[in-house]
Structure 1
Amino acid sequence: MTPESSGKWSDLWVRLGSGALMVTIGLLAIWYGSGLFHALVALVCGLMVWELVKMLNPSSGWAPSALGALAGAVTMASIYLPAGFALPILLAVGLLGFSQLQRHRTLFMVFTVMILMSGYGLMQVRDDLGFTWLLWIVLVVVVTDVVGYFAGRAIGGPKFWPRVSPKKTWSGTAAGWVGAAIVGWLFDLNTGAGPQIIGVSVAMSMASQMGDMAESALKRSRGIKDSSALIPGHGGLLDRFDGMLGASVFLLLAGQFTGFPFGAG
């Protein structure tokens, strides 16, 4: 193995170990559902808002912890409220941070709304539609990321957006779409959802990549590599769940047009 090829895979084992632990915890929480899953989603959302504030306002003192804790608490409370009451308190966190932070207020507000609405949407899917459909969302995002990671490093080729994300290639991006299509096809075979789930899976894969690129652009604008160091080999929770944010927001919108969950029994 050449030094160059060795560098491509230098973080592989750390990423795999951390990834396996996250997948195990996530699948157990998704399988169990109810309060355990709600608590995990609330914790992740709160920590992502904490990371976001620290990136955008690194000298803001109490703000990261306070806004992160508030975001987690609001996310947890939202799922136990009627939607008409849940939505305003979810949006209120973004407005509160906008009024308190000194810099990059609009970025904070937009990303915070995405984070909290995504968390709320995922909890709603698990509570209302069950394990199967939340697993589909997670698998599309994970397969997009994993297949893209390996294909991009194995195949290489033209870069997708070298100025912002120098490791991402078109080969890895397209491979992620193929992986998502296969996930959609398998779910069609096992749920009777119909072939349109394949197209929606590819679109959701693209949305997850958009979420990834949006977070990469945010980090590049701040001159940092990772949103935090919480997860060895992966950086922070925003680094790991940026694709889930894009996919979840997309599904909240696209579900109105596709009749999600596609008329499956």
Structure 2
Amino acid sequence: MGQSTAGSNWTDLGPRAGAGLAMAVVAGAAIWLGGMVFVSLISVVIGLCIWELTRLLRRDNAAVPMGLAILSGVAVLLAGYQIESGSGLGVWWLVLLIAPLLGFVLITKDRALFLAYSALIMLAALGFLHLSHSQLVIWLVLVVITSDVAGYFAGRLLGGPKFWPRVSPKKTWSGTVAGWVGAAGIGFLFASEGSTIFWMLGSVLAAFAGQMGDIVESAIKRYVGIKDSSNLIPGHGGVLDRFDAMIGAAALVYALSILLAIPVFVAG
């Protein structure tokens, strides 16, 4: 996910569009079907994100990334099943900490980095599991996608000053602001009478969290000297490259919703 300066070539647009459409179809079907179908999709995505993160930080042993990925996916499935069954998550949220804590032990270098980012991934997983019971999941996905698309085209067409060149040299202020504008538009569409400002500001905040999620993942890749988290998705790199913004947005929205005790999140 990124924005480039004006005049940049568009050679990656085709692969990005094709892969993006395929992912949109899969995600849309899972959201529409809901239940354990959606939970299963989230578990696969989270497992792949943990796999890629572990590979970035420990490339000397293929078993460790695979093992942590499986543990993460199973943990999300178990937590999701508890939520879907209506029995409440209870202490089952603790299973989501197994992979981050085990990874902290097994990864001999950059342990704190792994623990922090893997915990963020798991927090985002919880957010999506709870969001699946409302239209908020559609809102969040649309906010992140719209922000990304608006930022991509604005960055390439307008260019201008870079947002954070040392970490993500392709991102521009024009693309960043365009992403906020696009997100505000989504908020406006979801607003009801008297709540327009709330939805628009909330959407911009979610978009900003998504953009920062993108920045954080870019910083990790730059730190370890790798361009993409993997090559699983044509035109997008890895799963973590594609879902870094979703992770940032979902984690922040969930955390704030818990703090504000919004019923749709804390129920179940």
Return structure 1 stretches of 4+ with deviation > 6 angstroms. none
Cα displacement string for residues 229-254 of structure 1 (whole angstroms, at most 9, x for unaligned residues): 00000000110000011101111122
Task: Give the deviation of 1:214 after TM superposition.
Answer: 0.3
Aligned to 2:169: 166
| 2:163 corresponds to 1:157 | no
Match of 1:120 in 2: 126
Deviation for aligned residue 1:22: 0.4
Which residue of 103, 109, 114 corresponds with 2:109? 103
Displacement of 1:7 in angstroms is 4.5
The answer as to 2:92 corresponding to 1:86 is yes
Give the match's secondary structure for 1:80.
helix
Amino acid at match of 1:62: A
Question: 1:224: which partner in 2?
Answer: 226
- Partner of 1:24, secondary structure, is helix
Letter of the 1:121 counterpart: G
Q: How does 1:56-95 map onto structure 2 within 5 Å?
A: 56-81=57-82, 82-95=88-101
Query: Which of 187, 194, 197 matches 1:195?
Result: 197
Instruction: Provide the C-alpha distance between the structure 2 equivalents of 1:183 and 1:43, rounded to a whole number of angstroms.
Output: 27
Does residue 207 (structure 1) correspond to residue 209 (structure 2)? The answer is: yes
1:194 CA displacement? 4.4
Matches within 5 A, 1:213-252: 213-252=215-254
Aligned counterpart, 1:138: 141
Does the Cα contact within 8 Å between 1:122 and 1:134 map onto a contact in 2?
yes
8 Å Cα contact 2:36/2:81 also seen in 1? no
| CA deviation map 1:131-173 (0-9, x unaligned) | x211001000111111000000000000111122111000000
Taking structure 1 as the reference length, the TM-score comes to 0.91
Distance 1:260 1:228 in 2: 37
- Give me the whole-angstrom Cα distance separating, in 2, the residues matched to 1:192 and 1:125: 23
Alignment-mate amino acid for residue 104 of structure 1: D
1:44 is matched with 45
TM-score by length of 2: 0.90
Query: CA 1:83–1:7 in 2, change beyond 3 Å: closer, same or farther?
Result: same
* Shift in Å, 1:61: 3.2
Amino acid of the residue matched to residue 23 of structure 1?
A
Measured in 2, the distance between the counterparts of 1:91 and 1:258 equals 22
Offset, 1:83: 2.2
Query: Structure 2: 5+ residue runs without aligned partners?
Result: 83-87
State the match for 1:182 in structure 2: 185
CA RMSD of aligned residues (A): 1.9
CA distance in 1, matches of 2:159, 2:114: 34
SS at match of 2:93: helix
The SS at the match of 1:174 is helix
Task: Work out the number of aligned pairs and report it.
Answer: 255
Amino acid at match of 1:253: A
Shift in Å at residue 195 of structure 1?
2.8
Alpha-carbon distance in 1 for matches of 2:262, 2:74: 31
Structure 1 unaligned segments of length 5 or more: list them: none
Matched, 1:257 2:256: no
Cα contact 1:181–1:199 (8 A) shared by 2: yes
CA distance in structure 1 between the partners assigned to 2:200 and 2:263 by the alignment = 13
- 1:85-112 residue CA offsets vs partner (Å, 9 max, x unmatched): 2221111221111111221111111111
User: Which residue identity is paired with 2:51?
Assistant: W
| Distance in 2 between residues matched to 1:147 and 1:233, nearest whole Å | 17
User: Is 2:24 aligned against 1:23?
Assistant: yes
Contact between 1:45 and 1:116, CA under 8 Å: does it hold in 2?
A: yes
For the Cα contact (< 8 Å) 1:177–1:206, is it kept in 2?
yes
